[in-house]
């Protein structure tokens, strides 16, 4: 079956009791057992360990990513944490994309480093630098591609080969492109991670995360952490995300088309210093973006001439675009990563990896593209 068919039907069946076409919200703490000898005969005992609504979403996401199974978490950061706790112990080393979500950087440098885990932040757009960063105790390579917020891409297949040679797990944060456009497991990765808050939900309604694994052993390791730490997804969130998934492909196609139109407009504007969008021929990794993904997504960034001051003026005056954190929703959002999503990354590190002070990040939504362009035009007139 095709992707659009599976995003609707995978993992769900009509309710056997009533025939309801939507999976019920099983809002329950515990599950009554038929007898001691038949404990777990229906598959559920306590909702920290498993819940039927959450399980339906896990089965759907595993199908869409082509993995053996999926574990859903309370947030995207809980999913990242679950992967790190599953595959790293004290004395181990991990290689992380030097451009990644600020929360990932914070988890590594401010939390897990306190427990004897070592991290190297490498330019994963260069496989040779990843190979050079690998040590004898490297157990995990985590790439975020395209990276937040610079859109830098990493060659998933090449890095997966490096990880395999090192006996390490290669995990890919696939939030920006989703399995509709990019399928890391088919390219050789072991784990695909999502903040389901973003495109899987698509409506600014929930926070959640998901980890899809290639093998049963990997899935068991992640699921053990999910249960042990209690960082689970709630049934209400799972239910809403199940509904969001049904329109993923059509949302992604339209949002990406809007993003391309906006990127081309900005690239031609005399007040714009630079634009970064993988769909543009001017994007330095355009060939890689075309080679490992079937679409370019709806995220881009640009810099206004005049730097930080001009960028702030634009963001404070633009209409229709909402100044907010998050991305992937049907509403278009505008964000200043330096003061918002990546504020916890040290200034020197931000500058080193290209998160410049004047960077304006756009998450393009489903509004009419011309309306979004007109709003940017009016704001640029005030700069």
Catalytic residue among 55, 152, 198, 350: 198
- Report pLDDT for 128: 97
To the query of whether residue 316 is one of the catalytic residues in this protein, the response is: no
350 versus 153: which is more confidently predicted?
153
Instruction: Kindly report the pTM of this predicted structure.
Output: 0.95
Q: Please tell me which residue in 44, 101, 181, 199 is annotated as part of the active site.
A: 101
Task: Please identify which of the residues 6, 48, 264, 305 carries the catalytic annotation.
Answer: 48
C-beta of residue 182 within 8 angstroms of C-beta of residue 174: yes
Q: Which of 69, 173, 201, 219 is catalytic?
A: 173
**Tens-digit pLDDT profile for residues 269-320:** 999 999 999 999 999 999 999 999 999 999 999 999 988 888 889 899 999 9
Q: Do domains 3-245 and 248-381 have the same CATH topology?
A: no
Q: Which two tokens stand for residue 259?
A: 């993003």
What CATH architecture is 248-381?
Answer: Alpha-Beta Complex (3.90)
Residue 353's pLDDT is 63
pLDDT band at 237 (very low <50, low <70, confident <90, very high): very high
Break the chain into its structural domains and give their ranges: 3-245, 248-381
Q: In the chain, which ranges are continuous DSSP H helix?
A: 3-9, 52-65, 76-87, 102-106, 127-133, 156-166, 178-181, 216-229, 235-245, 248-267, 286-292, 307-317, 347-353, 369-381
> Residue 48 catalytic?
yes
Q: Is 271 a catalytic residue?
A: no
- Could you say which of 3.40.640.10, 3.40.50.720, 3.40.50.10480, 3.30.930.10 is the CATH number of the domain covering 3-245? 3.40.640.10
Average pLDDT of the residues of the chain? 95
Question: How far apart are the C-alpha atoms of 61 and 187, rounded to whole Å?
Answer: 17
Question: Are 216 and 69 within 8 A, CB to CB?
Answer: yes
For helices 369-381 and 248-267, the axis angle rounded to 10 degrees is 30
Whether 198 is catalytic is yes
Helix, strand, coil tally for the chain in percent (to 5): 40, 15, 45
Phi and psi at residue 289, to the nearest 5° = -60, -40
């Amino acid at each position: 079956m095709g992707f659009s068919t599976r995003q609707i039907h995978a993992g769900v069946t009509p309710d056997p009791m009533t025939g309801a076409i939507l999976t019920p919200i099983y809002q329950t703490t515990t599950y009554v057992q038929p007898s001691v000898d038949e404990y777990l005969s229906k598959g559920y005992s306590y909702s920290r360990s498993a819940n039927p609504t959450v399980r339906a979403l896990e089965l759907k996401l595993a199908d869409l990513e082509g993995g053996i199974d999926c574990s859903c978490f309370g947030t995207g950061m809980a999913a990242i944490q679950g992967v790190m706790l599953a595959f790293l112990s004290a004395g181990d080393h991990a290689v992380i994309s030097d451009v990644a979500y600020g929360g990932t950087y914070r988890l590594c440098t401010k939390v897990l480093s306190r427990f004897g885990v070592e991290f190297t932040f490498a330019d994963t757009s260069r496989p040779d630098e990843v190979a050079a960063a690998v040590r004898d105790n490297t157990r995990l390579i985590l790439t975020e591609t395209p990276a937040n917020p610079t859109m830098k891409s990493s060659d998933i297949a090449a890095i997966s080969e490096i990880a395999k040679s090192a006996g390490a797990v290669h995990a890919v944060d696939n939030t920006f492109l989703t399995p509709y456009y990019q399928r890391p497991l088919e390219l050789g990765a072991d784990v695909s991670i999502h903040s389901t808050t973003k495109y899987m939900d698509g409506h600014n309604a929930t926070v959640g995360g998901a980890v899809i694994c290639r093998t049963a052993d990997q899935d068991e390791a992640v699921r053990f952490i999910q249960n042990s730490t209690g960082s689970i997804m709630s049934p209400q969130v799972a239910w809403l995300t199940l509904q969001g998934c049904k329109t993923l492909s059509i949302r992604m196609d339209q949002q990406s088309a809007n993003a391309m139109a906006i990127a081309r407009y900005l690239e031609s504007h005399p007040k714009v210093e630079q634009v970064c969008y993988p769909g543009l021929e001017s994007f330095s990794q355009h060939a890689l973006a075309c080679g490992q993904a079937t679409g370019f997504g709806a995220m881009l960034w640009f810099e206004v001439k005049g730097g930080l001051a001009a960028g702030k003026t634009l963001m404070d005056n633009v209409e229709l675009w909402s100044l907010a954190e998050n991305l992937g929703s049907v509403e278009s959002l505008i964000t200043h990563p330096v003061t918002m999503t990546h504020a916890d990354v040290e200034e020197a590190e931000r500058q080193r990896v290209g998160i410049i002070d004047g960077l304006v990040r756009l998450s393009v939504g489903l509004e009419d593209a011309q309306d979004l362009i007109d709003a940017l035009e009016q704001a640029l007139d005030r700069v």
